[in-house]
Chain A
Amino acid sequence: MLRDPDLHVGAPRSRIDGVAKVTGEARYAAEHRAPDLAHGIVVSGAIARGRITSIDSSAALAVPGVIQVFTHENRRSTAWLDYNYQDEVAPPGSPFRPLYDAEIHFSGQPVALVVAEDYDAAAYAASLVRITYEAAEHATSLEAQAYKSYVPPKKRSGIKPPSPPRGDAPGAFTASPVMIEADYTHAVEHHNPMEPHASTVIWEGDGKLTVHDKTQGPQNSHSYVVAVFGLKADDVQVKNAYVGGAFGLGLRPHYQLFLAVMAALELKRSVRVVLTRDQMFTLSYRPHSLQTVKLGADRNGKLNAVIHAAVSGTSRFEDYQEDIVNWSGFLYQCDNAAFSYELAKLDTYTPSDMRAPGAATGMFAVEIAMDELAAETGTDPVELRLRNYADKDENQDKPFTSKELRACYAQAAERFGWSRRNPEPRATTEGRELVGWGMASGIWEAFMQKASARARLAADGTLEVATATSDIGTGTYTILAQIGADALGLRMEQVSVKIGDSSLPTSPIEGGSWTAASNGSAVMVACTAVREELFRKARGLDGSPLANVPPERVVFRGGRIAVADDPSRSVAISEVMRAAGLEVIEREETAQQDPATTKRYASYTHSAIFAEVKVDEDLGVVRVTRVVVAVAAGKIINPKTARSQILGGVVMGIGMALHEETMADHNLGRFMNHNLAEYHVPANADIHDIEVIFVEEHDDKISPIGVKGLGEIGIVGTAAAVANAIFHATGKRVRSLPITLDKLL
């Protein structure tokens, strides 16, 4: 199909924020300046549980340039009720309150904030704050605490609890000719975006604050600040024009925001607080979990029973929940299924959503188990998945808005050369290396959230679109410009995008892969309203070439409005604006999914991922030499930024498979490898060819623009594909991530 070269949606476009980012013009939260800016350094606690018995700040206060040392003993009073601390995505519980009292809830808890005229004085003084503790017994090991697991009494909003059982899963399992039963675990992972968490609070005078915060949701941070400190909504503006990666860590407000605002209000001056890389390991993380998957099947691999159980760690003060166990029910047809999900309390900070929360965790287990079933029944892994292909969401008994997973399997397999695979493990060698090919499915729920946007067309024919979402590196600026440009027939350069500001039209936080569908639809709807008004004006002009032409017969193209079948009849947008005497046409609109759709249908993005590994078995060294992933995610607005999203997800999935692991010392109750030298993410040498295929998928239900979202799907299934490839190479089934070399010796 030939593309219309004037259209932007669907065409690869470079990031419109790219130049600002590579030239340094783009400012991140810690880079905003203010006259008289003071610098805050957080003092992190040393014990995992107990009480502070004394704080001696005298040496710190004596350092020249130090303004104040804030602790629980001298902080200003803040809101009393948990409700005020609960942000948009807070799980049930009692959110952590920085510097609230002497209680220590987790290792690395902020216990003081040293504020000084310059960063170095604050950093030095912070090292001089002397704190004594009375330690209490702590528990940070999930393995040790799992026996005390419980069903979370209160469900986290927006997270599916385990689906009710159907059929008789235990009975069908034991009656199955083939039974697969195994335990799976993965390590705690920290998000570690390149940009550390930081807040620069600009004191505007009269109690007004402009807060540059590292967040995925400026309005979420805004409500938090207003509620916690009892401020007027109009007195606070939160901005996050540029975000240096987040992966979910920016969903909830973190303690640097509280501390920076607290200090600014107290000192009545601008304050910046930046966390160090080690302190980034005192924030949220992907929780460790212990999973059991049981698959019962006939000798051809057709599933009779699926049982998926998980126990995850959470903090003692909040019940963080994610959907780990439901995914097999969305993917595979099976009459008998049972799911359970429990939590165990640990003396750590609360975990949080990290790229594909729950799915990355649950699907690694399900998709290794499926590979085990394939091996056990002698079925090709792709064929096994096709045999069990679900044509509806069995957990919810709903049809899909669309599901092109079959095409994903077929196209990725073809591209990968899967048909040449020798099914026998250990059958292929290349020099000293064993070669293995593995595959897995990926799935993520496609969401569309209610979102508003404003479109403003100026007299010169330029367009500004605005909505309070964030671009965390995903390409949101660019796709919103593409949507706006196409709506009014403009060039990309004629469209400016305003996001990352709490004062803009209401938006959910950026997350869940829903931004393109939600904010993209809102921008489209707002631009459509502008377009309709513009057309009315154009048609009403004296001697209008569009007189009596119905709206469906015109096209907006090249800055002009023209009759589709008679391009000689046209008028320039700027001419319409001038003739009608208009400075601007501005519309704010809200887009949301039709509630009937949500009720009737289930919607997911899907992927099929194929990986090749080469393993030096003697030394346990694994190289992931090739990955092909096919993704079905509805309409792809920008194949270039979309591909980058998937590449990033796959790299993170390879990291999950082979590298990423935050190691706790349970004697101390503390994460120990808290820097990027010792917390390993893949280096360039670990990454080879990754090929991304977007499968054509038409979906007219998920969102008005047919978009499903791409942020998470790249990571889901990747770790399983790598683990399955390692099994195929070596015959060793490793069910605990990361697969470090010692597990293969």
Chain B
Amino acid sequence: MNNFSYTRAATVQEAVAALAAEPSAKFVAGGTNLIDLLKYNVERPTRLVDITRLPLRDIEEAPGGGLRIGALVPNSDLAYDERVEQRYPLLTSAILAGASPQLRNAASTGGNLLQRTRCYYFYDPGTPCNKREPGTGCPAITGQNRIHAILGTSEHCIATHPSDMCVALAALDARVQVTGPDGARSIPFAEFHRLPGDRPEIDTTLRHGEVITAIDLPAEDFSANHTYLKLRDRLSYAFALVSVAVALRIEDGVIRDARLALGGVAHKPWRDPDAESLLRGRAPIPEAFQAAAERVLRGAKGFEHNGFKIELARRAIVRALGQAARSTPQTQSDKRIK
């Protein structure tokens, strides 16, 4: 861990100013990922700006019927908030599928969006990595890539985004509220994380100095037909090999609205509007699910050790759509898959 300066910000403006003034400064909130990365010498900030005292800890009703989640709300509080449990059970389920109770108690909502990939090479400064040190190469492409991406990869990076919560937020069309040196703006969730392309070191569209202040959940109700299905190498406390968030609105036996987001397969939570539109207007039957799965995976590309993810994702999508359609969402406590 390198030496760094430490500032505790009292207001959002103060936080933004402290970061904007220093190109290698970083915000720290729960620290559940950043502190590890500091210890591994992967992140070497010159200054940590502690934002844990900012007044961003509330979950409030948003104008128009949705919820506004303060960026510092701990993951556990968010998952167990009664309004979230009732109106956005998909989000609760996705959060509870991730990490451990201890980590969820410490991790913040905003920080969850900014956690970095679990790619082995990214974590090991003894190896090359384009995401950690641009231009050094990507050994994962020809190396140990069991946990890596099958969609949206580039010749520079095949890392995945590790979050479960973000997969649900993507499916729910959340918006990310940020404030930076140039003022506040709102980023649609689909545009918040980016694909690696030729700049894999950049995970998101957040600009330096911008702080996440809140996540807005729109007022749409998917509480009747949803699921979060996560598949991993052990039954808890492991990152997703493939995860699927599904939110459906079914009326009179017809899918009126469909949301389908995948985790563990790409550099960002993966949504495919074409696949979703294939579902709209159709009866919730396996053939429709299969067609949507095929659509999502049409461009999937496997590497030496992760080719199985393509078939796994196909099956997981079909299973998850079935769970959602039958109103039997996957519980995160019983590991039997419904």
Contact = CB atoms under 8 A, between A and B. Distances in A.
Interface string A666-701: 111010111101101011111000000000000000
Contacts of B237: 683, 685
Given A127-B2, A127-B41, A659-B234, A685 B335 contact: yes
A180 interface: no
B331 to A, nearest CB: 12
Nearest to B126: A46
Nearest to A624: B235
B132 to A, nearest CB: 13
Interface stretch (B86-94, B140-148, B168-176): B140-148
Interface stretch (A87-95, A188-196, A583-591, A612-620): A612-620
Contact of B120 (A127, A620, A678): A678
Contacts of B3: 63, 124
Contact of B308 (A621, A672, A673, A745): A745
A740 interface: yes
A736 to B, nearest CB: 13
Nearest to A430: B336
Interface residues of B, number: 39
B231 A680 contact: no
Interface in B294-324: 308, 311-312, 315-316, 319
A667 B143 contact: yes
B1 to A, nearest CB: 6
A674 B123 CA distance: 9
B124 interface: yes
Contact of A623 (B121, B144, B336): B336
B258 interface: no
A670 B233 contact: no
A658 B120 CA distance: 20
B337 interface: yes
A668 B143 contact: yes
Given A431-B336, A621-B231, A667-B139, A742 B124 contact: no
A44 interface: yes
Nearest to B338: A432
A470 B337 CA distance: 44
B233 A623 contact: no
Given A619-B337, A670-B127, A678 B2 contact: no
Consensus secondary structure, chain B interface: loop
A658 B233 CA distance: 8
A39 to B, nearest CB: 13
B139 A623 contact: no
Contact of A663 (B125, B146, B312): B146
Contacts of B241: 741
Contacts of A686: 234-236
Contact of A618 (B234, B239, B319): B319
B221 to A, nearest CB: 28
A123 interface: yes
Instruction: Output the residue of A431, A665, A680, A741 with the most chain B CB within 10 A.
Output: A665
A123 B1 contact: yes
Nearest to A432: B337
Contacts, number: 115
A575 interface: no
A674 B124 CA distance: 9
A683 B337 contact: no
Interface string B229-255: 001011111110100000000000000
Interface in A404-439: 431-433
B194 interface: no
B235 A623 contact: yes
Contacts of B239: 677
A742 B308 contact: yes
A44 B126 contact: yes
Contacts of A740: 233
B231 A741 contact: yes
A619 B238 contact: no
Contacts of A63: 3
A685 B230 CA distance: 14
B118 interface: yes
A273 to B, nearest CB: 17
Contacts of A123: 1, 39
Contact of B234 (A108, A667, A670, A680): A680
A139 to B, nearest CB: 16
A278 interface: yes
Nearest to B318: A618
A101 interface: no
Contact of B144 (A120, A664, A685, A741): A664
A252 B261 CA distance: 50
Interface string B247-273: 000000000000000000000000000
A672 B335 contact: no
A614 B308 contact: no
Contacts of A668: 127, 139, 143
Given A124-B1, A678-B118, A685-B234, A620 B312 contact: yes
Given A124-B1, A678-B118, A683 B123 contact: no
Contacts of A664: 144
A236 B144 CA distance: 44
A317 B335 CA distance: 46
Nearest to A127: B41
A616 to B, nearest CB: 5
A621 to B, nearest CB: 6
Contacts of A659: 233-234
Given A667-B143, A683-B236, A684-B236, A745 B311 contact: yes
Given A614-B336, A619-B337, A672 B120 contact: yes
Interface string B136-175: 0001001110110000000000000000000000000000
Contacts of A680: 233-234, 238
Contacts of B144: 663-665, 672-673
A675 B319 CA distance: 32
Interface string B59-90: 00000000000000000000000000000000
A745 B306 CA distance: 13
Instruction: Output the residue of B3, B123, B124 with the most chain A CB within 10 A.
Output: B124
A685 B235 contact: yes
A171 to B, nearest CB: 41
Given A618-B319, A685-B335, A278 B124 contact: yes
Given A621-B231, A675-B123, 20 more contacts: A123-B39, A124-B2, A127-B1, A127-B41, A127-B125, A278-B40, A618-B315, A620-B231, A623-B235, A665-B144, A667-B143, A672-B124, A672-B143, A674-B124, A677-B238, A677-B239, A680-B233, A683-B236, A685-B236, A686-B236
11 contacts: A107-B126, A123-B1, A276-B39, A620-B231, A621-B231, A667-B142, A667-B143, A680-B238, A682-B234, A741-B233, A741-B312
Q: Which 10 pairs between the two chains have the least Cβ-Cβ distance?
A: A742-B308, A685-B235, A672-B120, A685-B236, A665-B143, A46-B126, A127-B41, A683-B236, A672-B144, A683-B237
